[in-house]
Amino acid sequence: MYDQSRNANRVIFHPAFNPGVSRSVQIPLFVIILIGVLALGAFIVAYQKKYFNRIIFVVLLAGTMGNLVDRVFLQGVRDFLYIGSWFPVFNLADVYLNIGVWIFIILQFFP
């Protein structure tokens, strides 16, 4: 059995498969894929209209594409980064999406 208490303060690799969205909330797959495709379109339009810079565009695009490719081919995402029982297992695509959103928010307040 996996001892979560020993690794509560470290980032470790712990493979998991998530067929749902955040915290395994179940939504039909076609809805998730539709939202992903719409998000890609919105990011492309926002970048073309110069609402955000290239760095934000690239990390948002990478995160969305990473999760979308997993969902299309695996019907879920492969999560593998585990911090502790207090935080859900996640993957690099999730990290990229968070970085993109946080950079965008920070640049709105500190241009």
How far is it, in rounded angstroms, from Cα 96 to Cα 79?
Answer: 13
pLDDT in tens, 77-96: 998 888 877 778 889 999 99
Residue pair 14/89 in contact (Cβ under 8 Å)? The answer is: yes
Residue pair 56/104 in contact (Cβ under 8 Å)? The answer is: yes
Alpha helices in the chain (DSSP H): 29-48, 54-74, 92-109
pLDDT(6) > 80: no
Q: Is 70 a known active-site residue?
A: no
- Annotated active-site residue in 94, 96, 97, 100: 94
The whole-model pTM stands at 0.80
Q: Is 94 a known active-site residue?
A: yes
pLDDT in tens, 9-37: 677 888 888 888 877 788 898 998 999 99
Nearest CA among 94, 63, 64, 59 for reference residue 79: 94
